[in-house]
Amino acid sequence: MRTIEDEIKQKAKSSGFDLVGITTAEPIDSAHLKHFKKWLAAGRNGKMAWLAKNIEKRFNPALLLPNAQSVICTALNYKSLTPSGKIASYALYQDYHNFIKQRLFELADFLKNQILKNLKFKICVDSAPLAERAIAERAGLGFIGKNHLLTNPQLGSFLLLGELITNLPLEPDNPLPSKDYCKDCSRCIDACPGGAISKNRFFDACKCISYLTIEHKGRIPKELKSKINSHLFGCDRCILACPYNKKAPACGNRDFKFFAERLNLLPEQILKFSQDDFNNLFADSPINRTGLRQLKRNALICAKNQNKI
Ligand code: B12
């Protein structure tokens, strides 16, 4: 017999998600909170001061939605067959925040109409204070690898996450069997240009090319400029190095729009961009939020690294 949980999963998959799992709204294992507090205290969040707000909420979905009972966790595979090397793969597609949110709203409508009229829900995609990888891990979507990414043994870690917290009680899924999925592999640690990933699992955002090119405003420390190499926006090196991604299938969702014209942008082209050029190319992109000024800052560093100016 088909259960409500089966119907929810089928609905989510038919709207384009590659993975769906359910967990309770109970607090996330306190080891995560402990790790997070230690991480902040060590200043590894760089200038992302917003991460120090709502700490308790981040690890307790019930603080994000009163009377929360369940969390429906989803993942969208965004592996590109043609990675750019200069622009992080996720930014080659349309803005995933809107894409995922829209589909989670549709799922909420479905639940409201079919299952619970009095449905209360909260949608989280990236910006909400919810530890998304930890909750997705508990819902059985994958394990958190040494590269700090939620990794599914079959689909790899080119996965974007989104959650629907609801007051609907649902039967939770089990996490994957507990084992050392990365074993003694250290490819992501070796591949990280800035040395942000280490064996002790203490991620140093200040050394991450993604942080430096996307989140870090203002001047980039001199000693890190060469590490940026030709990365104009974000970095996929720790993902590309992961063996789980070698055999993973590419994104099969044709509705998730891919912009091939973003693949081979040159720093010297970006340096000449007007605001209109920028808007035309990145209107529907996570790059839009970062803005032209910061993209030009990155382009200047890349151009100098390549001795182009
Ligand atoms: C801040 C942030 C960043 C920062 C910091 C990254 C980081 N690793 O924390 C920066 C700007 C650098 C960044 C970069 C990227 N990000 Co980001 N980011 C986030 C955000 C908003 C919060 C992450 C966070 O809480 N960090 C806090 C620290 C403490 O996390 P952590 O050190 O990894 O530790 C956590 C776990 O790994 C685990 N853990 C680690 N060590 C240990 C040890 C013990 C003992 C235990 C129990 C647990 C544990 O517990 C911690 C808490 O859950 C999330 C969205 C969200 N709301 O969750 C997206 C998110 C993690 N990012 C995402 C993506 C796609 C990226 C990039 C790939 C983008 C790119 N290509 O440029 C890179 C990847 C860099 C990397 N290897 O982590 C996706 C990851 C999807 C996935 N498959 O996992 C997320 C989930 C957004 C989304 N909705 O899809 N990101």
Alpha carbons 73 and 163: distance in angstroms, whole number: 5
The first and second tokens of residue 22, run together, are 């359910």
Q: Per the domain annotation, does 122 fall within a domain?
A: yes
Q: Per the domain annotation, does 256 fall within a domain?
A: yes
Residue showing tokens 């590659």: 18
Nearest CA residue ID for atom 15, ligand 1: 210
3-state secondary structure 157-192: CCEEEEEEEECCCCCCCCCCCCCCCCCCCCHHHHHC
Residue 36 alpha carbon, nearest atom of ligand 1: 29
Task: State in Å: Cα 113 to ligand 1 middle.
Answer: 34
Q: Evaluate: CB of 210 within 6 angstroms of ligand 1.
A: yes
124 closest CA partner among 59, 185, 186, 77? 59
Q: Per the domain annotation, does 39 fall within a domain?
A: yes
Task: State in Å: Cα 59 to ligand 1 middle.
Answer: 14
Residues involved in catalysis: 126
Q: To which H or E segment does residue 24 belong?
A: strand 19-24
Pocket test for ligand 1, best of 148, 231, 244 (most atoms within 8 A of CB): 148
Nearest CA residue ID for atom 40, ligand 1: 201
Q: What pLDDT, on a 0 to 100 scale, did the predictor assign at position 308?
A: 79
The first and second tokens of residue 242, run together, are 């992961």
The first and second tokens of residue 261, run together, are 């014209």
Q: Per the domain annotation, does 88 fall within a domain?
A: yes
Compute the mean pLDDT over every residue in the chain, rounded to the nearest whole number: 97
Residue 135 · residue 163 · CB < 8 Å: yes
pLDDT digits (tens), the chain, 309 positions = 899 999 999 999 999 999 999 999 999 999 999 999 999 999 999 999 999 999 999 999 999 999 999 999 999 999 999 989 999 999 999 999 999 999 999 999 999 999 999 999 999 999 999 999 999 999 999 999 999 999 999 999 999 999 999 999 999 999 999 999 999 999 999 999 999 999 988 999 999 999 999 999 999 999 999 999 999 999 999 999 999 999 999 999 999 999 999 999 999 999 999 999 999 999 999 999 999 999 999 999 999 999 877
Alpha carbons 279 and 264: distance in angstroms, whole number: 17
The first and second tokens of residue 8, run together, are 């929810």
270 closest CA partner among 246, 302, 238? 302
pLDDT (tens digit, 9 = 90+) per residue, 114-130?
Answer: 999 999 999 999 999 99
Task: Tell the burial category of 48 from Cβ atoms under 10 Å away from its Cβ (0-12, 13-18, 19+).
Answer: middle
Q: Evaluate: CB of 160 within 6 angstroms of ligand 1.
A: yes
In 10 A of CB 17, how many CB atoms?
Answer: 24
Residue 192 alpha carbon, nearest atom of ligand 1: 77
Task: State in Å: Cα 118 to ligand 1 middle.
Answer: 33
Residue 144 alpha carbon, nearest atom of ligand 1: 37
DSSP per-residue string spanning 114-168: HT-TT--EEEESSSSS--HHHHHHHTTS-EE-TTSSEEBTTTBS-EEEEEEEESS
Nearest CA residue ID for atom 18, ligand 1: 126
pLDDT (tens digit, 9 = 90+) per residue, 9-18?
Answer: 999 999 999 9
Residue 181 domain boundaries:
1-261
Q: What pLDDT, on a 0 to 100 scale, did the predictor assign at position 110?
A: 97
Q: Evaluate: CB of 125 within 6 angstroms of ligand 1.
A: yes
Q: Evaluate: CB of 59 within 6 angstroms of ligand 1.
A: no
pLDDT (tens digit, 9 = 90+) per residue, 64-113?
Answer: 999 999 999 999 999 999 989 999 999 999 999 999 999 999 999 999 99
Task: State in Å: Cα 304 to ligand 1 middle.
Answer: 30
SS3 199: coil
Residue 129 alpha carbon, nearest atom of ligand 1: 57
Nearest CA residue ID for atom 5, ligand 1: 205
Q: Per the domain annotation, does 110 fall within a domain?
A: yes
Pocket test for ligand 1, best of 34, 35, 204 (most atoms within 8 A of CB): 35
Q: Evaluate: CB of 123 within 6 angstroms of ligand 1.
A: no
Q: Per the domain annotation, does 163 fall within a domain?
A: yes
Q: Evaluate: CB of 55 within 6 angstroms of ligand 1.
A: no
Q: Per the domain annotation, does 296 fall within a domain?
A: no
The first and second tokens of residue 275, run together, are 């605001």
Q: Per the domain annotation, does 161 fall within a domain?
A: yes
Give me the number of domains the chain comprises.
1
